[in-house]
Amino acid sequence: MNRARKYLHRAFAILLLGFAAFSTFGKSQTPDPPAPATAAQIPAGPVLVAKIAENLSSKNAKAGDIVTAKTVEPGKLTDGTAVPKGSMLTGKVAGVRSKKQGDGTSLLIFRFDQIEPKGGTAIPIQCLVTAIGPSMGPKSSIGYNSVMGRGGAGSTVGLDPATGADKWAAKDENDIPRGSTIPGVGLGRLTNPEWTTALRGTHTEIDLDSDVVVKVQLK
């Protein structure tokens, strides 16, 4: 009887040790959940409207390439400095991935970091792109029936779904709606402290040319 009890206690002890070892193994194989990403707050300053001045494509762009856009209407900086029509926004590409490199998903990360008022000298700025898309003129096909308007790439988590405003809702050809109205391209809703803006293409390259309008909101 005593021998049976000894075997029983020994078996129970081995079972407990095995359970403890299994629990430890399970914990070591399960990484802690990542901390939530922090994002720069969306600025509440003036908005400048500009058109891309030089072509840029995720197919062949490189980190460090210059990004330029020319303002299409007068505006002001946060301190009240006048920004005449035709002023130049400049910045750099911070990261890029072609559709081929991304297995169908392209990426273009950039930021504007200075503006040169027409006839003046360059001024450092901090801003975020809050809207990007083709000019909303009469020939534009962007609207509720576009890829973005149907809740395509723009409705993906982390991208701004506020897209698809009908073209006739625009006050003029440069009054593009918030978010992205480039078919198949989403505009990043959250950005990092470096004030970069992320564009993500779904089964398409990201091509920015002189028909693309951007709205940037200044800090």
Q: DSSP readout, 151-205? A: TSGGGSTTB-------GGG-SSTT-PPSEE-STTEEEBSS--TT--EEEEEESS-
* Region 48-74 average pLDDT: 96
Weakest mean pLDDT among 36-45, 131-140, 179-188:
36-45
DSSP 5: H
Residue 138: both structure tokens together: 């009469």
* Region 126-131 average pLDDT: 90
pLDDT confidence of residue 190: 53
Q: Which carries the bigger pLDDT value, residue 22 or residue 102?
A: 102
pLDDT confidence of residue 201: 94
- How many CB atoms lie under 10 A from the CB of residue 21? 10
Averaged pLDDT of the chain: 74
